[in-house]
């Protein structure tokens, strides 16, 4: 069971790293470089989505490491 959790955690971290690099190195700068209002709104929405995924990943890691945290 531990190996399965570790594998899923590492796979999630790898996908997150690939998505982060893709957004900040390739897609994000291209959107900001275009400069139109519509495209800048897409860049803002993409960054907000990235932040939500980041916080969700952090919560998932904490809940996986300590499944009984927060329960009384």
| Tens digit of each residue's pLDDT (9 = 90 or more) over 30-45 | 888 888 899 999 999 9
Pairs from 24-31 (Cβ < 8 Å, separation ≥ 24): none
Domain positions in the chain: 33-63
Question: Exposed, middle or buried: residue 53 (CB in 10 Å: 0-12, 13-18, 19+)?
Answer: middle
20 falls in which pLDDT band (50, 70, 90)?
very high
Quote the pTM value. Answer: 0.73
Euclidean distance between the first and final Cα of the chain, in Å? 25
pLDDT at 63: 83
71 falls in which pLDDT band (50, 70, 90)?
low
Distance CA 57, CA 61 (A): 6
């Amino acid at each position: 069971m531990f190996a399965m959790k570790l594998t899923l955690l590492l796979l999630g971290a790898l996908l997150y790293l690939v998505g982060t690099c893709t957004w900040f190195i390739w897609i994000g700068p291209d959107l900001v470089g275009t400069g139109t209002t519509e495209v800048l709104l897409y860049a803002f929405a993409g960054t907000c989505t990235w932040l939500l995924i980041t916080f969700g990943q952090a919560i998932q890691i904490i809940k996986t490491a300590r499944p009984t945290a927060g329960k009384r």
